[in-house]
A and B are shown apart, each in its own frame.
Chain A
């Protein structure tokens, strides 16, 4: 889609035509105020650090340092013979109530304080972290400046925990209660094959094709139904897995209209 390339003075003055690539001025709706339109007021009253998960293995951290804290840092850094390295101290606090001292583990990432943000690759999906922004001096001391929110990295694969509990919800939550499993329910994962059935019985279970039926297969079904054999069960995957695993195998990331925009490149979103 082409960029917008024209602007109009709010006061009804002459139109000014811009050329492609020229920055568009932000509309001057409030003329005369001392604040320039391109500057945001800096509310750095407090030093802060914010932790945002990007994906199971990557987080983004940004920070802002209040002027008073910046002066303190400069004083610290200005002490003769003392070197201080700004760091992000990551604390793994998965499944615990963090009291500041009881993290499972911690590690430091050296940063450039002036950068304002950092991307950090972490080894573990489905973990909870918080981050302390601070200075590590070469005498081993850590001088914290701010602690972040707690954030979790998302899961990267299905859970192995298969317990089942059930909830009934009716209406606008006028009835919400834990209930036993529905009548006739057999506990346990719904598997693609019956574990106890023999080969003959297995052959009668409708086998799920690993891919949808192609147009060619389907045309055969339509034109020669008497010869239709469906898929050869022996050619299918025989792993004894459940519906969750089946859905995970079929799944492709990022299927949305935006992928149509890249159709020209024939990109397939199956790069997982």
Chain B
């Protein structure tokens, strides 16, 4: 009989990036990298556990932009093109390193790995990774959380509550269409919470969400169990809090597992080490270098001199670290159960892209961890958050505090001097949409198409990714252009709708490009604004 629970949550998200207008798009590579290094490796681990009859429970947040891209035949084909190029590159690398045994074995390893991934993508999963996750949920092994339409940072949109409501409604509607059921849990983008967001989730019958540690520890009144049990917002939505100990062991850039000297060094990709001519067919056609995923070195230490990666050492470390993680959780639960009058739940959410991309050995670590938990001890049981609530439907009432899991813990990352220009535009865009909804309560035909596309442009502009990228200084130009492009398209569509002169050819062009949410989302905006006229966020 378990003494406590461990709820591991993988938050998988990428911004909606789709550029059929270009032969090649650098930014689409974020998706292709994640498929190769994260999603397929994680799925293969979970399939392996199933095949070996190892019971497990894990939670996944799969956001609508990511799901939409994974289901897009155009991007699926481009992914196939990319993985086939990488297989070819790995073959060439095997030939190039034939006289260097320590690199040759790694080149062969990557060739095997890429080939395995391609076969899984085409054969086992028939290009549809989302269906694989859905199947695992239907088997009761994982729980998939819904999230907002385009990963908008909700606290900064809450000036007009209808914007928050619309993001939630559209995201949940998308979830139902894809997964064939209503979601019970909701992943708040960036764990961004402010009081009132919970009421929006309650309206959509969401049962629970997850906040950063201090969102719970600073709840009002003081939570009895810290983050080791959830609290119930006054609205009834239950909020779980991130456990800091299990987070630090994985996330900390100083003491976390991924920094171990035997793990693969992320920053030594062959894309930056080898000649232009040799690499040219595998880079962007304009010669821009970006990661191939073929990396030959290990962390080694705090030094620029890196030693060759040794897969056996890395695997051994992954096993050791899995055992250490489990040991610490056992001790943690042993300690907590001596004090608590209910079983504690250790909630451990992570960005999915850590597992396999930033931390190459992450999926291996997870595999060892789940097997050890299943076979080597009895104190801890893996659980989904829905299961925990079934056992504990009564929870302390407390209003969590405004918080996020971003750097500094609040809104700073998404609102600072580099990106504050976005918000007047976003807030005005919502007002614009509200005026449209008032003016066109019933629309059909071409006007409805234009209104729906206006809604898509609005939610795409609201993606928190753009403000984040600008703030962190990565792909600033791209993020700025995405924000401006979507707002520009929205404004143009509004102009055309109001003037009665909709350019159908132009509309078709952007429908084809910004093709997220191919259903009637205008109606959802309409409902969101109508509801807001009767309620308010605060």
Do A and B form a real pair? Answer: yes
Binding site for B on A (CB under 8 A): 1-8, 10, 17, 23-24, 26-27, 29-30, 33, 35, 37-38, 40-41, 43, 50, 52-56, 58, 60, 62, 64, 116-117, 119, 149-150, 152, 154-170, 172-173, 176, 178-179, 182, 184-186, 189-192, 205-209, 212-213, 215, 218, 221-222, 242-248, 250-264, 266-269
- Measured in the bound complex, the distance between the Cα atoms of B218 and A241 in whole Å is 15
- Whether B159 lies near A258 (C-beta < 8 A) is no
Whether A30 contacts B222 by the Cβ 8 Å rule is no
The contact of B222 among A38, A64, A158, A208, by CB within 8 Å, is A158
Among candidates A2, A176, A208, A267, residue contacting B332 with C-beta atoms closer than 8 Å: A208
- B25 pairs with A166, CB closer than 8 A: no
Interface centre among A23, A155, A207, A255 (most CB of B within 10 A): A255
Q: How far is the CA of A260 from the CA of B266 in the complex (A)?
A: 10
Q: How far is the CA of A60 from the CA of B336 in the complex (A)?
A: 41
B350 neighbours in A (Cβ, 8 Å): 257
B65 interface residue, CB < 8 Å from A?
no
Are A158 and B217 in contact, CB atoms less than 8 angstroms apart?
yes
**CB of B346 to closest CB in A, whole Å:** 11
28 pairs, A vs B, C-beta closer than 8 Å: A5-B286, A7-B22, A35-B491, A41-B491, A58-B412, A117-B420, A117-B424, A119-B417, A152-B194, A152-B402, A158-B222, A159-B220, A159-B222, A162-B221, A166-B232, A186-B341, A190-B226, A209-B331, A244-B223, A247-B243, A250-B245, A251-B217, A252-B247, A254-B408, A256-B190, A258-B472, A259-B407, A263-B258
Assess the B224–A243 pair: CB atoms within 8 A: yes
Across the A-B interface, give the 10 residue pairs with the lowest CB-CB distance, nearest first. A243-B226, A254-B407, A257-B351, A154-B402, A255-B251, A55-B410, A250-B244, A247-B226, A161-B221, A253-B409
Residues on A with C-beta less than 8 A from B286 are 5-6, 17
A86 to B342, CA, bound (A): 57
Q: Which residues does chain A contribute within 8 Å of B416, judged by CB atoms?
A: 54
Partner of B221, one of A43, A164, A182: A164
- Interface residues on chain B, number (Cβ under 8 Å): 128
Tell me if A33 and B432 are in contact (CB < 8 A).
no
Give complex CA distance A216, B285 in Å: 49
Are A207 and B415 neighbours in the complex by a CB distance under 8 Å? no
Q: Counting CB contacts under 8 A, is B267 at the interface?
A: yes
**Contact assessment for A257 and B358 in the assembled complex, using a CB-CB cutoff below 8 Å:** yes
Q: Known contacts A1-B26, A170-B393, A173-B236: does B289 contact A152 (CB below 8 Å)?
A: no
Please tell me which one of the listed residues B202, B425, B428, B496 contacts residue A173 in the complex, with CB atoms under 8 A apart: B202
Contact indicator A29/B253 (Cβ below 8 Å): no
A186 to chain B: which residues have CB within 8 Å? 341
Tell me if B495 counts as interface (CB < 8 A to partner A).
Answer: yes
Report the stretch among B51-59, B71-79, B475-483 that lies at the interface.
B475-483
Task: Tell me if B125 is interfacial: C-beta within 8 Å of chain A.
Answer: no
Which residues of the partner chain B approach A119 to less than 8 Å between Cβ atoms? Answer: 417
Which A residues touch B431, using CB under 8 A?
Answer: 43
Partner of B26, one of A2, A58, A117: A2
Closest to A267 in B: B253
Q: How many angstroms between the C-alpha atoms of A6 and B412 in the bound complex?
A: 32
Judge whether B116 is part of the interface by a CB distance below 8 angstroms.
no
A251 to chain B, nearest CB (A): 4
Alpha-carbon gap, A243 to B375, bound state (A): 30
Is B258 in contact with A260, judged by CB distance below 8 angstroms?
A: yes
A5-B288, A29-B506, A154-B401 as given contacts; A162 in contact with B222, CB under 8 Å: yes
Do residues A244 and B510 form an inter-chain contact, with CB atoms below 8 A?
Answer: no
| Interface check B254, CB cutoff 8 A | yes
A-B contact count (CB 8 A): 319
- B205-A173 in contact (CB<8A): yes
What are the residues of chain A within 8 A of B443 when measuring CB–CB? Answer: none
Task: State the Cβ distance, A183 to closest chain B Cβ, in Å.
Answer: 9
Q: Given A5-B286, A29-B509, are A213 and B489 neighbors across the interface (CB < 8 Å)?
A: no
Kindly state the separation between the CA atoms of A216 and B160 in the bound complex, as whole angstroms. Answer: 53
Chain A residue, CB-CB nearest to B302? A266
Residues in chain B within 8 A of chain A (CB atoms): 21-23, 25-27, 30, 155-156, 159, 182, 190, 194-195, 202, 205, 207, 213-214, 216-228, 232, 236, 238, 241, 243-245, 247-249, 251-254, 258-259, 266-267, 284-286, 288-290, 302, 320, 323-324, 327-328, 331-332, 334-336, 338-342, 350-351, 353-354, 358-359, 389, 393-397, 401-403, 405-412, 415-417, 420, 423-425, 427-428, 431-432, 468, 472, 474-478, 481, 484-485, 487-489, 491-492, 495-496, 503, 506, 509-510, 538
- A252 CB → nearest B CB, Å: 6
Q: Are A255's CB and B247's CB within 8 A?
A: yes
Query: Shortest beta-carbon distance, A1 to chain B, in Å?
Result: 5
Contact: B475 with A213, CB < 8 Å? no
B223 touches A213 (CB 8 A): no
In the complex, what residues of A have CB within 8 A of residue B353's CB? 257
CA A37 to CA B410, docked complex, whole Å? 33
Q: Which residue of A lies closest to B485 (CB)?
A: A26
Within the assembled complex, what's the spacing in Å between the Cα atoms of A110 and B407?
30
Which of A7, A38, A150, A159 has the most B CB atoms < 10 Å from its CB?
A159
Contact across chains for B22 and A6 when beta carbons are under 8 A apart: yes
- Closest-CB distance, A105 to chain B (whole angstroms): 21
Distance from A262 Cβ to chain B, minimum over Cβ atoms (Å): 7
> B401 to nearest A CB, angstroms?
4
The docked-state distance in angstroms from the alpha carbon of A230 to that of B236 is: 41
A43 close to B406 (CB less than 8 A): no
Give A30 to B508 CA distance when docked, in angstroms. Answer: 11
Given contacts A1-B30, A40-B491, A256-B405, contact A52 B411 (CB under 8 A): yes
Residues of A within 8 A of B432 (CB): 43
Whether A30 and B411, one on each chain, are in contact in the complex, defined by CB atoms closer than 8 angstroms, is: no
Cα distance A192–B222 in the bound complex, in angstroms: 16
A152 to B354, CA, bound (A): 33
- Inter-subunit contact A168/B410 (CB<8 Å): no
In the bound complex, residues from chain A placing their C-beta under 8 Å from that of B389 are: 169
* Chain A residues positioned under 8 Å from B489 (CB to CB): 29
Given contacts A55-B410, A117-B420, A165-B396, 5 further A-B contacts (CB under 8 A): A167-B232, A185-B341, A190-B225, A221-B327, A261-B474
Kindly identify which residue among A33, A168, A218, A253 contacts B407, using a CB–CB cutoff of 8 Å.
Answer: A253
Evaluate whether A55 and B408 lie within 8 angstroms (CB atoms) in the complex, with A2-B288, A62-B420 already known.
Answer: yes
CB-based contact B222/A8 at 8 Å: no
